[in-house]
Amino acid sequence: MDEPVIRARGIYKSFDGLPVVEDFTIELRRGAVAGIVGPNGAGKTTILRILAGLLEPDRGLVERRGRVGYVPQDDMLLPWLTIRGNIELGLKARHVPVEERRRRVAEAAELLGLTDYLDMYPGRVSGGTRRKAAIARALVLQPDALLLDEPYTGLDRRSVEALQGFIRRIRREGIAVLLVSHQLAELVEVADTVYVVTERPARIRGVLDLTRPGARERIMELLTPLLTGEA
């Protein structure tokens, strides 16, 4: 792990005068996998959107070194394009040559198990396949950090295992990954660090280092007081 790909300090964001994120700080290094957990509606998606550069914080500092890919909760695939067409959409917008587009799409499809679905339309495939296509669409842009909002939603066990393998592989390539997920068992399998946030406005209640001996085995014991506010 090298220098931080994303560093945020003291982030504050409000909508219509109501604070949503308050004094949030995070550092995400190359090859690291981190997670953010907390109550529904706490502001976790807002945090991801700020880190991705899609929202500006009202206060605080966000530094990005390299490209940041963001995959929202909704796959947002265009129904009139095939899975292939959706995955290469950003590449076309960046005028990437055809042969290079094909190569990147093929590699991402193989990595995520999408090869057999490339010529199908979103309405003809499962929710899990659409989810993986949305991830592939971000991956082909060769990000230095990949931000995933509820990536396990709609995936069966086989697809979850494939996604876990994908995350482990791209981290070995030096890509930083940040996940928001309510599926703690899956998150804990791949994350090094978990940021636990409060109810809205989202503040950091605790940070868990899962690389410490026994931390993964004791994760619920460690998380419970943080999630319930008893820490």
Give the domain 1-67+145-155+174-231 fold: Rossmann fold (3.40.50)
pTM of the model: 0.89
Q: What are the residue boundaries of the structural domains of the chain, listed by start? A: 1-67+145-155+174-231, 75-142
Per-residue pLDDT of the chain (231 residues; tens, 9 = 90+): 467 899 999 999 999 889 999 999 999 999 999 999 988 888 999 999 999 999 999 999 999 999 999 999 888 899 999 999 999 999 999 999 999 999 999 999 998 889 999 999 999 998 888 989 999 999 999 999 999 999 988 788 888 888 898 899 999 989 999 999 888 888 888 999 999 998 889 999 888 888 888 777 777 777 776 666 655
Bridge partners of 36, per DSSP, are 180, 195
